[in-house]
Structures are given as C-alpha cells and as structure tokens.
Amino acid sequence: MKLIVANWKANPATLEEALDLASRTDRAGVVIMPPFHFIPGIRPVLKSASLGAQDIFWEDLGAYTGEISWRHLQNCGVTWAIIGHSERRKYLGETDEMVNKKIQAALTNGFKGILCVGESAEIRKSGLNAAKSFVADQLQKALLGIDSKLLSNLIIAYEPLWAIGTGNPDTPESAAAMAQFVKLTLQASHQVNVPVIYGGSVNAANAKSFLDHPAIDGALVGGASLKADDFNAIAAAA
Ligand code: PGA
C-alpha cells in the first residue's frame, strides 16, 4: 500500500472545519498533518489515519520562543513529521543545518520523518541532471552524521519547487526517475532502502499516473488534501 500524506499547511480557519475534514478523510494508509493547534482536537477523531506535524523543533524543552518541540508532539500522539518543506526553507529561512538537527531529533525520538527535497525552476531549466545533483547535495547535507540505523524511519518527499501549489506537476516519468535516483543515492551513501514519495500539484485526476510507477511510494498532497472528496479519490488510487 502506498503512503498518502495530507499537508494542510496553514489551513483551514477553524477547528470545526478541521474536525470535519479530518473525520471525512480518516482512512488507513493516510497521514494527516494539520496546523499544530488543531492536533489535540483532531487526535480523538482519527481512528485509522496517523497523525503528523508539518514541522518539528529539535530541542526537548527550554527558552525557544514560538517553537513546538519533539517532546510536545510526542505528548500529543503525533508519530510523523515533515522536515525541511520548501516553504519553510523559503519563507522562514530554514537551512540544511536546521533540517539536519530536526531529522536527528525526530528519528532519535521515534518519529517517522518525511524529508522534503526538490529543485527550483531555474535549476530544472538546466536539465534533469542539474536537478539530480542539487537533490543529492540536499540529501547529503540533511543526513550528515546521522546513524544509518535510524534511517529505517525516514521517507523522502521529492517535491520540485516549481510544481508545488502551481497546478503544474512534474511528469510522472521524470518524478519516477528522480525517485529512483534518490533511492540509488541513499543506497550508495548510507546503505539503506528509503521510500520516496512525490509532491507537487497532485490531484484526484493525476494521482494514479504517479502512484502507478513502482519507484514512487506515495504522494504528499497540499491543496487537494483540503477537499475531502478529492483527497479520498487520491487515497483510493493508492
Ligand atoms: P500542493 O503542495 O499539493 O498544493 O502542490 C504539496 C506540498 O507542498 O507538500
């Protein structure tokens, strides 16, 4: 069964809407990632889906204004975390070093981590090989010094930046080629087999074309995860 992840980002506006969306998309094989403050409310609604966070702070507790730590998430029943989403890298200045610390903290403390990688439009214009070397560099920096034994709980999300939220997805063929490249890269560098999911304008109409590729182990879904019928159609395609 392929993994389908709902990344709600900063949506919806109210807990009432969040509870409605969660109850209508609660199904096995799915991870729901709401904004932090909805997590305690949503937890009892989920009977089949897993609960995830869109970010995770590496320290335990302490003087870190505004941060939500791995311990807070653990105490709220969260078992998954997205790490290094491109929107955090772009708008909040998240660096490879920060991403590395978050992966270390998440995996050491028993979370399943979804590490996001992907190239900009500018890089992709130079060709798929340029995209591959950019992604390989992101992977090595994110996983620097992390014990290979911990990587059994890591999933990579390949999300080309130009495909996120644009309605302009990658082709299933090049997404599959990148997924395969990520797998081979991590087999060579860390001797691990890591699942790779695709994200970037996945919707009910195109999901199957991605999920049918053996190299693509699932989808990270943003916009379409906010519409229960669309999201359920994507999950059904998996
Ligand atoms: P999108 O977002 O499905 O709206 O393109 C994907 C993501 O950012 O994870």
pLDDT tens profile 128-155: 999 999 999 999 999 999 999 999 999 9
pLDDT value at position 236?
Answer: 97
Active site residue 85: yes
Q: For atom 6 of ligand 1, which residue has the closest CA?
A: 222
In the set 59, 85, 94, 213, the catalytic residue is 85
Q: Report, as ranges of residue numbers, the positions in the chain whose pLDDT lies below 70.
A: none
In the set 87, 119, 159, 190, the catalytic residue is 159
Per-residue tokens: 41: 């409310």
Whether 86 is in the pocket of ligand 1, judged by its Cβ within 6 Å, is no
pLDDT value at position 1?
Answer: 87
Q: Which residues have C-beta within 8 Å of that of residue 145, sequence separation ≥ 6?
A: 100, 104
Q: For atom 7 of ligand 1, which residue has the closest CA?
A: 222
Active site residue 119: no
pLDDT digits (tens, 9 = 90+) for 153-174: 999 999 999 999 999 999 999 9
How far, in Å, is the centroid of ligand 1 from the Cα of 147? Answer: 29
Amino acid (one-letter) located at 132: K
Phi, psi angle pair for 175, to nearest 5° = -65, -40
For helices 128-142 and 172-190, give the axis angle rounded to 10 degrees: 40
Amino acid (one-letter) located at 26: D
pTM for the full model?
A: 0.98
Residues β-bridged to residue 199: 220
59/101 Cα distance (integer angstroms): 9
Whether 202 is in the pocket of ligand 1, judged by its Cβ within 6 Å, is yes
Report the candidate in 223, 180, 183 with the shortest Cα–Cα distance to residue 204: 223
Whether 4 is in the pocket of ligand 1, judged by its Cβ within 6 Å, is no
185/192 Cα distance (integer angstroms): 9
Signed CA dihedral, 199, 203, 206, 209: sign only: positive
How far, in Å, is the centroid of ligand 1 from the Cα of 237? Answer: 17
In the block, tokens 């001797």 appear at 191
